A and B are shown apart, each in its own frame.
Chain A
Amino acid sequence: MNLLKTQREALLGPLQAVTGIIERRHTLPILSNVLLSRTDTHIEFVATDIEIEITTSMTIEGPGETKKLTVGARKLVDILRALPEGSEVTLALQDKRLQVKSGKSRFNLQTLSAEDFPRLVLAEASATSLSVPQKLLKALLGLVQYAMAQQDIRYYLNGLLMVVEEGQLKLVATDGHRLAYASREVGGKNLPKQEVILPRKTIIELSKLLEDSDDSVAIELSSAQAKFKFGNVVLVSKLVDGKFPDYGRVIPQNHPKKLKLERIALLQALQRAAILTSDKFRGVRWVLGDGSLKISCSNTEQEEAQEELDVPYKGETLDIGFNVGYLVDVLNNLDVAEVECGLGDANSSALFTLPGRNDFKYVVMPMRI
């Protein structure tokens, strides 16, 4: 029984969009499979890791019956990728095996029953729904996601806080040593306030799948689930249960020392200096004095790098250390010409913002070098 006949590329797109979340190691063999579900007019692809479920669909022409099956996702993708570009591909079901045909190539893959494929139970009511351009959400994610923790025992930091409040969409990520905050007006002042923590993997997948387009993404947040619908993709994710730290408390308010810095010049100086930090020792020293910011790094072999930037600063000298990676991260992920940096003393956090705006904040703790 034929499931579909189409171009290799038309199939690869929706298939690869779902298979990114499949874990290499898992407990249930069926989790390495992708669910193919054929209806009269569509074919749907579904993959899951039990926490996240992604569905894509493509419309199909030509006759077909309703049919569901699951098949090893990685093998199917590998086969399609290995076929010549532009080739025509037929998928057919024969004796519980999926046959992939293209030109003179034939592949017979074993299937597992679609009945056994674990689906996420969809939340009944969605408390808050809003719709924003895909490029807005993608850009917002890019501004904060690098600050998420990885495998922290404070599991709620291994994700990103999404807040809908007073017509704004706010995202916050932190690993306990630095914190990134970004917000945008999204309208709908009457939307009920909602706060959810999205798992790290959901965020990474979402930013991969979102496009730089004006097409919208529909966001639905409930107390246990988040759903993102855009293009031909539906991504449903469980939430991280836990209390995210009160981010407002750690954003410093009135730093006495303020300076504007050219983003690219600062980034390049830091990247050059960072060559002479060892893996273990990622420290960079800033010495801020009248008119200049001196940046230096050294490693365990006592090699030293020094950089100096002219800055419009007048005041007390400050000698402070940072993890250079934390500074490079934020500068890399902004696309503005200038950043503003607020500093207190050598033990207080530094605050990076965008001149004249209050919709981005990056707080980074210093380190003693």
Chain B
Amino acid sequence: MPESPRRIIHVDMDAFYASVEQRDYPELRGRPVAVGGPAESRGVVAAASYEARAFGVRSAIPMARALRLCPELVIVRPDFARYRAVSQQVMAILRSCTALVEPLSLDEAYLDVTDNLWGEPLASNVAKKLKALIRGQLNLSASAGVAPNKFLAKIASGWKKPDGLTVIAPERVEEFLRELPVEALSGVGPVTAKKLRAIGIERLLDVRAAEDERLHRAVGSQAGWLKSLSRGEDPRPVEPDRQRKSLSDENTYEKDLTDLEQIRGEIERIARRTAEGLAKRKLRARTVTIKVRYADFTTVTRSHTGIAPTCDAAQIAARALALLERTEAARRPVRLLGVGAHGLLEEGESLPVPGSLPF
């Protein structure tokens, strides 16, 4: 017997930082605004208002490039303390509907509204009311996606933006999935997407049709997960207390590795993947850990804590490689390698860092 479907909402604030700035400083309204570091100090765009997006300004692009795209761009230094405070107000509104709220970052959260405090049976009505409350109390707009699981809800909230509301009813899931490219799958970044394209998988539905073994060869242990997503299935519950303490990634090898260069290559690859994971969740880590399991199953870990938190792939990879030297990898055959990031800080969570000497 299939379980009765859950009702999950993904709420995503529209251009959050930029919208907070435009709300609090009326002179910014209607103008292209980018929140981020100045172009001279190689800042990047943390958020762009919809006016700026019309010029092609996107988050994560260098501010210098943003200025070339849009010379009248207004650059605002981020004030994370204020964004955090507003974020808490948003989350409080969401929690007035259900305790099952899982914040993903300052401006995004999942809610499980199957049973909600308002006694509202229609999830689309819940979403409408949440958007109205956010608009009414905070004067900000949010987009929402309503679906039977997290994966679909998140895609749905991005479907129409800003101020959108997209509902994927259980019976319309199949129709919806037909439209999607592979990148829509969560966990499929540009690297995995390229691997999938290499074996002829362009659309999400092709994943479903792919033979298990072929898929496994292309993307390894992710295969099973991608397959269930491609069927529109995602059993992950909404976890209200989830606060990431660490993020890690590891790989077990069919054949033990004995070549140091190959092991270094693997560590670097896994470290970069871990860094990507951090960047995607807008987290930075202070501690990098590596895990090495030798052929005889003895496992060692080595870790290093830096002063400044980072999600920079090159830096995390360099630290992981330095840690590798403190193991016997290659001198002893290796069956598993892993890289972890700990001591995580969220975006805007400040950690005073002493300045660096200008060597």
Which residues of chain A have a CB within 8 Å of any CB of chain B? 27, 151, 153, 155, 174, 176-179, 245-246, 249-250, 280-283, 321-323, 326, 347, 349, 363-369
Contacts and interface: CB of A to CB of B under 8 A. Distances in A.
B359 A368 contact: no
Given A153-B319, A155-B322, A365-B355, 10 more contacts: A27-B328, A174-B357, A249-B358, A280-B351, A347-B355, A365-B356, A365-B357, A366-B354, A367-B354, A368-B355
Interface of B: 304, 307, 315, 318-319, 322, 328, 331, 351-359
Contacts of A246: 359
B115 to A, nearest CB: 35
B356 A177 contact: yes
B357 A179 contact: yes
A249 B359 contact: yes
Contacts of A280: 351
Nearest to A280: B351
Contacts of B357: 174, 176-179, 245, 250, 349, 363, 365
Nearest to A155: B322
B155 to A, nearest CB: 36
Contacts of A155: 322
Contacts of B353: 367-368
A153 B318 contact: yes
A262 B353 CA distance: 27
Nearest to B359: A245
Contacts of B315: 153
Contacts of B356: 176-177, 365
The 10 closest A-B pairs by CB, nearest first: A365-B355, A245-B359, A367-B354, A177-B354, A283-B352, A250-B357, A323-B354, A367-B352, A369-B352, A365-B354
Given A153-B319, A153-B322, A245-B359, A281 B354 contact: no
A168 B307 CA distance: 34
B107 to A, nearest CB: 23
B317 to A, nearest CB: 10
B318 A366 contact: no
B359 A27 contact: no
B359 A366 contact: no
A221 B356 CA distance: 31
Contacts of A323: 352, 354
Contacts of A249: 358-359
30 contacts: A27-B331, A151-B304, A153-B318, A153-B322, A176-B359, A177-B354, A177-B356, A177-B357, A178-B354, A178-B357, A245-B357, A249-B358, A249-B359, A250-B358, A250-B359, A280-B351, A281-B352, A282-B352, A321-B352, A323-B352, A323-B354, A349-B355, A364-B354, A365-B356, A367-B352, A367-B354, A367-B355, A368-B352, A368-B353, A369-B352
Contacts of A174: 357
A282 B354 CA distance: 10
Nearest to A349: B357
Contacts of A365: 354-357
A55 B91 CA distance: 66
A349 B304 CA distance: 26
Nearest to A326: B354
A178 B359 CA distance: 11
A250 B315 CA distance: 24
Nearest to B304: A151
Nearest to B319: A153
Contacts of B304: 151
Contacts of B322: 151, 153, 155
A280 B351 CA distance: 7
A63 to B, nearest CB: 44
B286 to A, nearest CB: 9
A159 to B, nearest CB: 15
B325 to A, nearest CB: 10
Given A151-B304, A153-B318, A281 B358 contact: no
Nearest to A325: B354
A176 B319 CA distance: 16
Nearest to B321: A153
A342 to B, nearest CB: 15
B77 to A, nearest CB: 13
Contacts of A349: 355, 357
A227 B319 CA distance: 31
A364 B354 CA distance: 9
A365 B358 CA distance: 10
Contacts of B318: 153
Given A153-B318, A153-B322, A281 B359 contact: no
- The listed residue with most B CB atoms (<10 A of its CB), out of A151, A178, A250, is A151
Contact of A177 (B307, B319, B331): B307
Contacts of A250: 357-359
A174 to B, nearest CB: 7
